[in-house]
Chain A
Amino acid sequence: MGKYLVNLKINNIPVSVEEGTTILDAAKNLNFKIPTLCYHSDLSIAGNCRVCVVEVKGQRVLSAACATPVSEGMDVFTNSEKVRASRKNVVELLLSEHNADCTKCYKNGNCELQEMTSEYSVGNHIYLDLVKDKDKILDISSPSIVKDDSKCIRCQRCVRTCEELQAVSALAVVNKGDHQKISTFLNKPMHEVVCTNCGQCVNRCPTGALVEKNYIDEVWNAIYDPDKFVVVQTAPAVRAALGEGLGVELGQRVTGKMVAALKKLGFNKVLDTDFTADLTIMEEGTELLTRLKKALVDKESVALPMFTSCSPGWIKFVEHIFPEYLANLSTCKSPQQMFGALAKTYYADKINIKPEKMVSVSVMPCTAKKYECDRPEMRSSGYKDVDYVITTRELARMIKQAGIEFNKLESERYDSILGESTGAAVIFGATGGVMEAALRTAYEIVTGREVPFTNLDIKPVRGMEGIKEAAIKIKDTVPAWSFLEGVELKIAIASGLANAKKLVEAIRDGKATYHFVEIMACPGGCIGGGGQPIPTSAEIRKKRIEAIYEEDTNMTLRKSHDNPEVQEVYKEFLGSPLGHKSHDLLHTHYKPRKRY
């Protein structure tokens, strides 16, 4: 259905746009930038910060450009005297309730309010300071997210994120009038509520009110400690985004530069989470086939569909919201935690370092990983398997702190062992990636042939849609898996917890049946993780995804089971997938938590 074109004028320039377009977007077409704060392209329209007000001829009051659709003959002024005066006053007002100690703020230099201040309100603060209990309202209870109400400007982006993208609603607007604020159920500390630590709110907070809890100093201290041996692992999605914070063009992979930088920072060994991503495929793929066998051959009752378990935000979501589906989660730990467990056992032994001297650091696109590494389930090496998790953003900051000119670095390679990986591992960073990697391996185990897709690219599971489904017919199996002959393997993929919720509800209500379901807590998968560079948008996430698949395409090894180091670790240490050692080190179970 074609849409009507609407003719209007913006700053006296005629423009025609589709019916339903907002003034904000129409102005963008003409390259007039209207400032915004509460607006975010991923979220519904709030229209509450009033920074984007514009003058529409004939209207008594100004209109919020983000919330007002164009209409025929409209005469809009984005920069009139009234508009500028109002905008300046609104920015001043926001500053008056904002703890504007910018030099002390973690977001100094990456704050939308600060940026706006430099445009609209230089120096003189007109109004009275309204910030209540400065420094006394910091919530540091969560291992992932720090909430500082004194910096909050009530744009409600976090609330909308938590509700619309994640279906968690751990954050809500509470009270009204001068007492209105963003808070939790009965103002409880963040670690006591249903927060999944996904950090999507952090990605969208325009100020320093919601930031990741940073472990930069802890990591520096470990590096400086001569008695410690510090190993670092880097997640697949980090390499696709780290550059953004360091002056590299969006969408450029920086794998080699990142490794070089980590070595310069002083880490003793620079290793790759991709290695354990490959290992995860071996374990999880085998687990899936085992579950199918139990169901189809042994006629045992077994939880299907099997859900992936790589995303710690998703894990906590299941614990809170769908505890009845805990058995459906793959028992595999996430690649980060598999890595941690191996680092302080197999690896420590191999390189002859005492595990108690080893500090295991991971660089993740994720804030929930900070929580994950603190879990009691994650100490199977006898130590804390992963000691510190830093996000992509924290790594960028450390690189800046060290005065490393990132752009000028020569690429370097990961250390061996635990540094080798395949294309199947790197695509873990994008939604659908785990599924694709698993299929590449499982299909080959079952049929002895490669997956029937050109270049191994399983296109149906790729793309940015929140929920994807596909089916693969299994034909000509090898004898050991003959029970799968003719079976149509049904799979689904969801990213963003709101989509995950929809998908699980469809399964629960019998509206959909699958064998295997991949779920990532964050929109677009890990490349859109809560620890990735700010800002985020669909466009940015798309570029990162492209970078991820490009890396896959360029790898010589594309299938997890081809990873020679993975083959080696089984031969030398683990035995076989789902074997006894794997069970002890690489698998775990989770417990229900209260939703209400």
Chain B
Amino acid sequence: MTKIKHLIQNFSLQKFKKGGQKMSNVENLVKELVKIHGKNRNSLMPVLQGVVKEEKYLSEDAMMAIAKELDLSTADVYGTASFYTFLDTVPRGKNIIRVCKTITCHMKGKDELIKALEDALKIKVGETTHDKQFTLLTANCLGWCHKGPVMLINDEIYPETSPQAALEIIEKYQTSTKK
């Protein structure tokens, strides 16, 4: 499994490196973020968050650029990022779906919701669609226990989501991102 992850990562990196353009984009983005938030350790979180907002995950190049700009070791940057669930260090799709799996959402049918999403997107939890449009993940308590089951797509929240409703929401993202 980890081997596969590694392969995926290498694959995407190669793609990035071939582009050349893209790589310097990440560096520029990091520089820009550091300019906004300041060149010190306290800025690490907002810089990491800023990169994830744009790139959906922290690539090797992104973390190297951050380490360089903030004078940290790459291991330190990776160690910090990997602590936080929302700071992914493996490639993610354009839209990240996080289904709450904690008890009340569990009681209100998160399994059915996940099943519907898996079937519709033809992926399992933890995976990304072939077209890189969606990544399906689970999350711990999202803070909507009275309105389960709930899912988060990027920063957007969808409470009381039935399997049917989920499909319609997905549809919306599919069309809006294809445009």
A and B touch in the complex (CB under 8 A): yes
Q: Report which A residues bind B (CB closer than 8 A).
A: 163, 168-176, 183-187, 193-194, 595-596
From residue B15, how far is it (CB to closest CB) to chain A in Å? 17
* Interface residues as binary, B56-73 with A (CB distance below 8 Å gives 1, 0 otherwise): 000010011101100011
B75 with A193: CB separation less than 8 A: yes
Given contacts A175-B82, A185-B75, A194-B73, 6 further A-B contacts (CB under 8 A): A174-B78, A174-B79, A183-B75, A184-B75, A186-B74, A187-B2
- What's the least CB distance linking B121 to chain A, in Å? 25
Partner of A596, one of B64, B79, B83: B64
Instruction: Check if B76 is an interface residue, CB within 8 A of chain A.
Output: yes
Judge whether A175 and B83 touch: CB under 8 Å: yes
A-B pairs with beta carbons under 8 Å apart, 28 shown: A163-B76, A169-B73, A169-B76, A170-B73, A172-B73, A172-B79, A173-B79, A174-B75, A174-B78, A174-B79, A174-B83, A175-B82, A184-B75, A185-B63, A185-B73, A185-B74, A185-B75, A186-B60, A186-B63, A186-B89, A187-B2, A193-B75, A595-B67, A595-B68, A596-B64, A596-B67, A596-B68, A596-B74
Q: Flag if A172 contacts B64 (CB, 8 Å).
A: no
Q: How far is the CA of A168 from the CA of B64 in the complex (A)?
A: 15
B74 to nearest A CB, angstroms?
A: 4
Task: Name the 8 nearest CB pairs between A and B, nearest first.
Answer: A172-B79, A169-B73, A172-B75, A185-B74, A596-B64, A185-B75, A174-B82, A174-B79
Contacts of B64 in A (CB 8 A): 596
A596 to B75, CA, bound (A): 10
Interfacial chain B residues near A595, Cβ < 8 Å: 67-68
How far, in angstroms, from A173 to B76 measured CA to CA in the complex? Answer: 8
Give the tally of cross-chain contacts (CB within 8 A).
53
Question: Roughly how many angstroms separate A169 CA and B79 CA in the complex, as a whole number?
Answer: 10
| List of B residues within 8 angstroms of A183 by Cβ | 75, 79
Tell me the B residues contacting A by CB distance below 8 Å: 2, 9, 60, 63-65, 67-68, 72-79, 82-83, 89
Contact A186–B78 (Cβ < 8 Å): yes
Residue of B nearest to A320 (CB): B73
B residues near A596, Cβ cutoff 8 Å: 64-65, 67-68, 74
Docked Cα-Cα span, A176 to B79, in Å, equals 9
A322 CB, min distance to chain B CBs, angstroms: 13
B65 surroundings in chain A (CB, below 8 A): 596
**Chain A interface secondary structure, helix, strand, loop or mixed?**
loop
Per the bound structure, the CA–CA distance linking A193 and B76 in Å amounts to 12
- Distance, CA A596 to CA B63, complexed state (A): 9
Q: Once the chains are docked, how many angstroms separate the CA of A184 from the CA of B63?
A: 13
Distance (whole angstroms) from the CB of A179 to the closest CB of chain B: 8
Q: A170-B73, A596-B65, A596-B67 in contact; A185/B83 too (CB < 8 A)?
A: no
Bound form: Cα–Cα A169–B72 in Å: 8
Measured in the bound complex, the distance between the Cα atoms of B9 and A534 in whole Å is 39
Check A172 against B67 for contact (C-beta < 8 Å): no
* B89 cross-chain contacts in A, Cβ below 8 A: 186
B141, chain A: closest CB distance, angstroms: 14
CB closest chain-B residue, reference A159: B79
**Partner among B60, B73, B79 whose Cβ is within 8 Å of the Cβ of A168:** B73
Contact A176 B83 (CB under 8 A): yes
- Nearest CB to that of A594 among chain B residues? B64
Cβ–Cβ contact B83 & A171, under 8 A: no
Chain A contacts of B2 at CB under 8 A?
187
Chain B residues in 8 Å Cβ range of A168: 73
The minimal Cβ–Cβ distance linking B101 to chain A, given in whole angstroms, is: 14
What residues of A have a CB within 8 angstroms of the CB of B82 in the complex? 174-176
| Contacting residues, chain A, for B9 (C-beta < 8 A) | 186
Chain A residues near B76 (CB, 8 Å)?
Answer: 163, 169, 172
A399 to B65, CA, bound (A): 49
| Contact, CB under 8 Å: A172 / B78 | yes
Contact A170 B83 (CB under 8 A): no
Q: In the complex, what residue of chain B is closest to A185 when comparing beta carbons?
A: B74
**Given the complex of chains A and B, what is the CA–CA distance between A595 and B63 in angstroms?**
12
Tell me the nearest residue of chain A to B58, going by C-beta.
A186
Write out the residue numbers on chain A whose beta carbons fall within 8 Å of the beta carbon of B83. 174-176
Considering the chains assembled together, what is the distance between the CA atoms of A193 and B75 in angstroms? 9
CB distance from A193 to the nearest CB of B (A): 7
- The CA of A174 and the CA of B81, in the complex, are separated in Å by 8
| Closest-CB distance, A567 to chain B (whole angstroms) | 46
Q: Are B75 and A171 in contact (CB under 8 A)?
A: yes
C-alpha spacing A173/B73, complex, angstroms: 12
Question: In angstroms, how far is the closest chain A Cβ from the Cβ of B24?
Answer: 15
Of the candidates A168, A173, A174, the one having the most CB atoms from chain B within 10 angstroms of its own CB is A174
Q: How far is the CA of A175 from the CA of B83 in the complex (A)?
A: 5
Bound CA span A169–B74, Å: 8
**A177 CB, nearest partner CB in chain B, Å:** 10
What separation, in Å, do the CA atoms of A183 and B72 have in the docked complex?
16
Closest to A169 in B: B73
Instruction: Tell me the bound Cα distance from A52 to B113 in angstroms.
Output: 47
A176 to B85, CA, bound (A): 9
Residue of A nearest to B59 (CB): A186
Chain A residues closer than 8 Å to B60, beta-carbon distance: 186
B63 / chain A contacts, CB cutoff of 8 Å: 185-186
CB distance from A316 to the nearest CB of B (A): 14
Residue of A nearest to B68 (CB): A596
**Given known A-B contacts A186-B89, A596-B67, A194 and B78 have beta carbons under 8 A apart:** no
Among A175, A187, A596, max chain B CB count under 10 A is at: A596
Max count, chain A CB within 10 A of own CB: residue among B2, B9, B82: B82
**Once the chains bind, are A169 and B75 in contact (CB under 8 Å)?**
yes
Bound state CA distance, A175 and B89, in angstroms?
Answer: 11
Which residue of A has the minimal Cβ distance to B64?
Answer: A596
CA distance A173 to B72 in the complex (A): 14
Which residues does chain A contribute within 8 Å of B78, judged by CB atoms?
A: 172, 174, 185-186
Verify B67–A170 contact, CB threshold 8 A: no
B65, B68, B78: most-surrounded residue (chain A CB, <10 A)? B78
How far apart are B6's CB and chain A's nearest CB, in angstroms? Answer: 8
* Residue in A closest to B89 when the chains form the complex, CB atoms: A186
Name the residue of chain A whose CB is nearest to the CB of B79: A172
Nearest chain B CB to A525 CB, angstrom units: 24
Q: Which of B68, B72, B75, B77 contacts A170 (CB 8 A)?
A: B75
User: Which residues of the other chain, B, contact A163 by a CB distance below 8 angstroms?
Assistant: 73, 76
Chain A residues near B67 (CB-CB < 8 A): 595-596
Which of B67, B74, B75, B76 has the most CB atoms of chain A within a 10 A radius of its CB?
Answer: B75
Contacts of B72 in A (CB 8 A): 169
Provide the bound-state CA to CA distance between A220 and B35, in Å.
58
Q: What separation, in Å, do the CA atoms of A388 and B25 have in the docked complex?
A: 46
Closest to B72 in A: A169
Nearest B residue to A173, CB-CB: B79
CB neighbours of A170 from chain B (8 A): 73, 75
Chain B residues with Cβ under 8 A from A187's Cβ? 2
Q: Nearest residue in A to B77 (C-beta to C-beta)?
A: A185
User: How far, in whole Å, are A184 and B79 apart by their CA atoms in the complex?
Assistant: 8
Name the residue on B nearest A179 (C-beta): B82
